[in-house]
Structure 1
Amino acid sequence: MNAPKYGNFSDRLSTQADAKKAALAKFRARPGPDDPAVLERQAAQAAIAAAREARIAERKAAREAEAARVAAEQKALAAEKAARDAENSSRAAALAAEQKAARDKRYAARTARRR
């Protein structure tokens, strides 16, 4: 794209001044802070922010509830495993005692036969 052609320095100055005036007019045409459209837009943004905060709080509560549920489930599983382990160890101890009693009985019978 070619640059605009200016005849002389005063043409460039006048073009620059016109651009400055247009920018100033655009800035002055903006609505003020007490304009109803601006207030409405700010209210809409505040409502959106409040809804966002509510969704964030809801997700946080759901995450905490899920974490509590998982922790309770893990605690229940650990208690169940501990009960199973205790039952298995008592069963193993009973089996060992039973085997020892049978072994002692066989030993006593064998020694009685020898005498």
Structure 2
Amino acid sequence: MKNARNNELSDRRGAAKEAKAALLNAFRAAKDSNDPAKLAKQAERQAVAAAREKRHAEQQRAKLEERERMQAEAVERQAAAEAAAKAEIEARETAEKDRIAREIEEEAARKAERDRRYANRKARQA
């Protein structure tokens, strides 16, 4: 029988205390040892962590470049929209000025024709 003695509470507590102490001693011994396999595994973990950091930095740089590119495109689109709006306003102003100039010329032509008819009528009456 494995556990031939009487399992009293104090016996069980003592056994648990001894087991915890043994586990702690084993952990300390494993932690302090310079096992080549352990050192190799630790170096491998460090290399993986460094590669992960490098990938993360590259991803962050790519995101930053993409954000900057998107901002530059937005600025270009805004500038193009402003230029188009300015050109449209200038075209409207030019068209309005041309229309006003045509109306002034047409009014002057109508007035000249009216004055000519008036002069002809006065010449016939005289």
Moved over 3 A (4+): none
- Which structure has more helix as a fraction of its residues? 2
Q: What value does the CA root-mean-square deviation take over the aligned residues?
A: 2.1
Q: Does 1:29 align with 2:23?
A: no
What percentage of residue pairs aligned between the two structures are identical? 29
SS at match of 1:29: helix
The SS at the match of 1:35 is: coil
Per-residue CA shift, 1:54-108, capped at 9, x if unaligned? Answer: 1210111011110111122112212222221232122112211110111001211
Greater gyration radius: 2
Q: How does 1:1-115 map to 2 (within 5 A)?
A: 11-30=8-27, 31-36=30-35, 37-115=37-115
Q: What is the TM-score with the length of structure 1 in the denominator?
A: 0.77
Name the aligned partner's letter for residue 63 of structure 1. Answer: K
What TM-score, normalized to structure 2? Answer: 0.71
Name which of structure 1's ranges 37-46 and 56-65 shifts more when overlaid on structure 2.
37-46
Structure 1 residues not aligned, in runs of 5+: 1-6
Corresponding residue pairs, total: 107
